[in-house]
């Protein structure tokens, strides 16, 4: 008897259930369960197939995704994710690989990982890469642990990490988790690192300076070479937060700028759907003098076979189970293969063009503070309009388009942080600008009543945060 026969044959199902092999123990203390958790019937509705299909199709239409329209969350790079990458990641030959298989049986998988390491080294102009970290913040923490181990190995007691006031919130969190004290420095009038403040903050206690470039305001740090010299002259390390890498592919790199460590957000810049809570991947690249501290294993190649290399005596150890988030690595590998050097460079050029085009369309209506030329994103302020960024964000939802990031970075009042990405059309940018401008022309009471056309109308955010409902 095959089990698939039993599945469709009720008498056989009963026979299986009566067999002691399949019998579930009934020796359960009923007092362990409260009355509201006990049930005898599921009480499922009796509905037709078409009603079920329509119900779940309507639910899916309530979700907003990058497949539907523009998703300009600043600092998130919510670009359209090409379907070829998803298809490759779903191949059975990759999907069914087990991490405990002998290396000889997974040479193709290891080859993909090795080649991705090489791609990331070239893109970043760094010397060694680990694919283990499972997200950007995990990559940051990995970098922090490498910094910590590096100075411990040198018997240097460095306890501080410097961070600009425009940094991502994960930067100080990662540094603190690594046991460091965080020193925050202000931006200058152009929205860049204040060099005087940086020089004043650097000391023998400084382990590293964490920064992304372009920064969170979408501004390229013009004095990055001088910044690198200040940090290195103090014996400290320069860490690159890779959140904004989409602005520099093919134009420059962390290695050229003088950085020692960089993490990548493969779920942002390299074709994995981002925004659903996972999965992610945050590989870390380092200069040669830090390569011995990378997590093990990395993937090696001896000219004949690919293998898992554990031979790093100063390694910080493993930072995730097994060898990383492979489906995300696979998408990234396919994205780089498909685009090549010129494709990645063109994506950067389009991302910067789209950002500055949209900025130009709205800056006569909204204030766009700091240095005028932006890269892949820009931050506007609604303060000069007398309207709240939150209200305008809610207004956008009524037009079927997603709000940008609001109230970040903290150094801009009533901030709206907009990153269109390279995959958005001119028509979408024009529509977005028109709706942003129209939000300033409706009566304020109308604006505060938005959204009205969505499945859920305006909610009390404070109550929602304090009175959590964790079950549907």
Q: For the chain, what is the radius of gyration of the CA atoms? A: 26
Q: What is the pLDDT of residue 278?
A: 67
Return the closest-CA partner of residue 247 out of 73, 421, 432, 71: 421
Strands 206-211, 237-240: parallel, antiparallel or unpaired by DSSP? parallel
CATH 3.40.640.10 fits 84-338, yes or no: yes
218's tokens: 């979408």
76's tokens: 């998130």
Residues 6, 100: Cα–Cα separation, whole Å = 33
Return the closest-CA partner of residue 86 out of 271, 250, 248, 221: 271
Residue with tokens 């020089």: 199
Residues 193, 309: Cα–Cα separation, whole Å = 39
Strand, coil or helix: what is 286?
Answer: strand
Residues 329, 281: Cα–Cα separation, whole Å = 7
Q: What is the pTM of this model?
A: 0.87
Residue 251 has φ and ψ, to the nearest 5°, of: -105, -50
What are the tens digits of pLDDT across the range 66-99? 888 999 999 899 999 899 999 999 999 998 999 8
Residues 111, 303: Cα–Cα separation, whole Å = 11
- Confidence check: pLDDT of 189 > 70: yes
Q: What is the pLDDT of residue 90?
A: 92
Extents of the domains making up the chain:
84-338, 349-461
pLDDT bin (cut points 50, 70, 90) of residue 277 is low
Residues 418, 73: Cα–Cα separation, whole Å = 6
Residue 367 has φ and ψ, to the nearest 5°, of: -80, 135
Residues 411, 458: Cα–Cα separation, whole Å = 27
- Confidence check: pLDDT of 15 > 50: no
Return the closest-CA partner of residue 207 out of 157, 268, 154: 157
Q: What is the pLDDT of residue 304?
A: 96
Across residues 422-434, what is the average pLDDT? 97
Mean of the per-residue pLDDT values for the chain?
91
353's tokens: 């063009």
Question: Are 413 and 339 within 8 A, CB to CB?
Answer: no
More confident residue, 62 or 351: 351
How buried is residue 48: exposed, middle or buried, by Cβ count under 10 Å (0-12/13-18/19+)? exposed
Residue with tokens 């998703």: 71
CATH topology of domain 349-461: 3.90.1150
Other CB atoms within 10 A of residue 256 CB = 13
- Confidence check: pLDDT of 138 > 50: yes
More confident residue, 65 or 440: 440
Instruction: Tell me how far the alpha carbon of residue 124 is from its chain's centroid.
Output: 18
Q: What is the pLDDT of residue 8?
A: 39
pLDDT bin (cut points 50, 70, 90) of residue 375 is very high
Question: Are 138 and 328 within 8 A, CB to CB?
Answer: no
What are the tens digits of pLDDT across the range 199-239? 999 999 999 999 999 999 999 999 999 999 999 999 999 99
pLDDT bin (cut points 50, 70, 90) of residue 14 is very low
Return the closest-CA partner of residue 369 out of 211, 163, 168, 188: 188
- Confidence check: pLDDT of 2 > 50: no
Buried b / exposed e along 130-148 (16+ C-beta atoms within 10 A): bbbbbbbbbbbbbbbbbbb
Question: Are 253 and 314 within 8 A, CB to CB?
Answer: no
Q: What is the pLDDT of residue 274?
A: 77
What are the tens digits of pLDDT across the range 445-460? 999 999 999 988 998 8
- Confidence check: pLDDT of 161 > 90: yes
What are the tens digits of pLDDT across the range 376-399? 999 999 999 999 999 999 999 999
What are the tens digits of pLDDT across the range 317-341? 999 988 889 999 999 999 999 999 9
Across residues 357-378, what is the average pLDDT? 97
- List all residues 6 or more positions away from 169 whose beta carbon is below 8 Å from its beta carbon: none
The helix/strand count (H/E) of the chain reads as 17, 12
- List all residues 6 or more positions away from 38 whose beta carbon is below 8 Å from its beta carbon: 30
What are the tens digits of pLDDT across the range 405-427? 999 999 999 999 999 999 999 99
């Amino acid at each position: 008897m095959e089990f698939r026969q039993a599945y469709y044959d009720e008498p056989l199902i009963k026979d299986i259930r009566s067999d002691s092999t399949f019998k579930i123990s009934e020796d359960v203390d009923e007092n362990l369960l409260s009355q509201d958790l006990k049930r005898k019937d599921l009480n499922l509705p009796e509905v037709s197939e078409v009603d079920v299909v329509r119900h779940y199709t309507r639910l899916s239409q309530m979700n907003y995704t990058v497949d539907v329209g523009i998703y300009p969350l600043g600092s998130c790079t919510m670009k359209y994710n090409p379907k070829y990458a998803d298809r490759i990641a779903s191949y059975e030959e990759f999907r069914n690989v087990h991490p405990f298989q002998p290396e000889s049986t997974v040479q193709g998988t290891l080859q993909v990982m090795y080649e991705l390491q090489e791609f990331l080294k070239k893109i970043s102009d760094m010397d060694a890469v680990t694919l283990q970290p499972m997200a950007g913040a995990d990559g940051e923490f990995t970098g922090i642990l490498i910094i910590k181990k590096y100075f411990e190995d040198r018997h240097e007691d460095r306890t501080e990490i410097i961070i600009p006031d425009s940094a991502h919130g994960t930067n100080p969190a990662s540094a603190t988790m690594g046991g460091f004290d965080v020193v925050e420095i202000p931006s200058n009038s152009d929205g860049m690192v204040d060099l005087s403040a940086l020089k004043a903050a650097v000391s023998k206690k400084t382990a590293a300076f964490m920064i992304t470039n372009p920064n969170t305001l979408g501004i390229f740090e013009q004095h990055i070479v001088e910044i690198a010299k200040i940090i290195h002259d103090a014996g400290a390390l320069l860490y690159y937060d890779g959140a904004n890498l989409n602005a520099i592919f093919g134009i420059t790199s962390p290695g050229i700028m003088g950085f020692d460590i960089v993490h990548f957000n493969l779920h942002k810049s390299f074709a994995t759907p981002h925004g659903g809570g996972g999965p992610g991947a945050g590989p870390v690249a380092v200069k040669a003098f830090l390569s011995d501290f990378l997590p093990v294993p990395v993937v090696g190649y001896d000219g004949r076979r690919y293998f898992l290399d554990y031979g790093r005596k100063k390694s910080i150890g493993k930072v995730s189970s097994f060898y990383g988030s492979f489906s995300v690595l696979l998408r990234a590998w396919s994205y780089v293969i498909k685009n090549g050097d010129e494709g990645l460079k063109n994506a950067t050029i389009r991302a910067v063009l789209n950002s500055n085009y949209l900025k130009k369309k709205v800056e006569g209506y909204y204030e766009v503070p700091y240095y005028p030329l932006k890269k892949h994103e820009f931050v506007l302020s609604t303060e000069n309009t007398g309207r709240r960024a939150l209200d305008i964000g809610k207004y956008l939802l009524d037009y079927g388009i997603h709000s940008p990031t609001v109230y970040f970075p903290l150094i801009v009042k009533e901030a709206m942080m907009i990153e269109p990405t390279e995959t958005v059309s001119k028509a979408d940018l024009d529509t977005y600008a028109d709706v942003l401008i129209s939000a300033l022309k409706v009566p304020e009471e109308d604006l505060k009543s938005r959204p009205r056309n969505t499945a859920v109308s305006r909610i009390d955010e404070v109550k929602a945060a304090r009175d959590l409902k964790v079950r549907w």
